[in-house]
Amino acid sequence: MAVQSVDRALSIIEVLGNHPNGLGVINLSKTLNLPKSTIHRLLNSLITRNFVYQNEENERYYLGMKLAQISSKIIENLDIRVLARPYIEDLSQITNEVVHLCIRDGNEVAYIDKVESNRTIRMYSQIGKRAMLHCTGVGKVLISGLPDHKIIDIVDQVGLPKFTENTITSKEAFIQEIQLIRQNGYALDQEEHEDGIYCIAAPIYDYSGNIIAGFSLSGPINRIKSSIENGHYKSYLLSTAYQISERLGYIKES
């Protein structure tokens, strides 16, 4: 019975979360198919713990601030490296390619974790390394969630310096690239930062739908490009991105 009460109380929280204008006892009773007396009892317990409050004027019930307080503690204590590590390890094992986990730090990409592959030919990269946003796959996905005018502001501040023959150096072409990334859900680095290196990157979303990190599969072009083009790496990458994002409370729009 205690477990059933917990389940019912959580159902009330979930229903109220979908009704920001509040609900009365009758509507809660109908929605959850529970007696009004049961709803009253559960609401009293939730009110006592500040999970729910009642507006005395309209007699409707609303979610309280307790959930926001708990959520803020979760966010404060979140370490994306710890959360993402098992998933990027699995991705590296499946593909046998190096995986980098990155965040945006100002107008740069910061590499905060790395899972190395077992390949004979490896990439030279280090945790703590920084790179520009416009010429890396992770950099492009990290800013793809920003509105165009903010991206242009960044470009105006740091420019679009050329690293290879493939680096995007036109503001218009870069915005077009960002629009393509939004459409596809992933970004490519086609030897744009370093000759001979190719990568595919995906964003990680938090519970509010904001991009908070990104990760990439990278390697020598003669090995990795064909695996990206045949669709296998893209499938693994996007699946991993969704799993990590889901752990952060992200719900993909249908």
pLDDT tens-place string over residues 145-200: 999 999 999 999 999 999 999 999 999 999 999 999 999 999 999 999 999 999 99
Provide the 3-class DSSP secondary structure of residue 103.
Answer: strand
pLDDT tens-place string over residues 59-79: 899 988 887 777 666 655 568
Instruction: Say if residue 95 is in the same domain as residue 143.
Output: yes
Q: d(Cα 146, Cα 148) in Å, to the nearest integer?
A: 6
Instruction: Say if residue 41 is in the same domain as residue 122.
Output: no
pLDDT tens-place string over residues 93-130: 999 899 999 999 889 999 989 998 776 445 555 677 88
* Percentage of the chain modeled with pLDDT above 90: 50
Q: Which of 73, 97, 131 is the last residue of a domain?
A: 73
Domain holding 164, by residue range, is: 78-247
pLDDT at 137: 95
Instruction: Say if residue 126 is in the same domain as residue 226.
Output: yes
Q: d(Cα 144, Cα 121) in Å, to the nearest integer?
A: 31
Q: How far is CA 127 from CA 7, 49, 85, 112, 143, in A?
A: 43, 44, 14, 5, 20
Average pLDDT along the chain: 88
Query: pTM, whole model, 2 decimals?
Result: 0.72
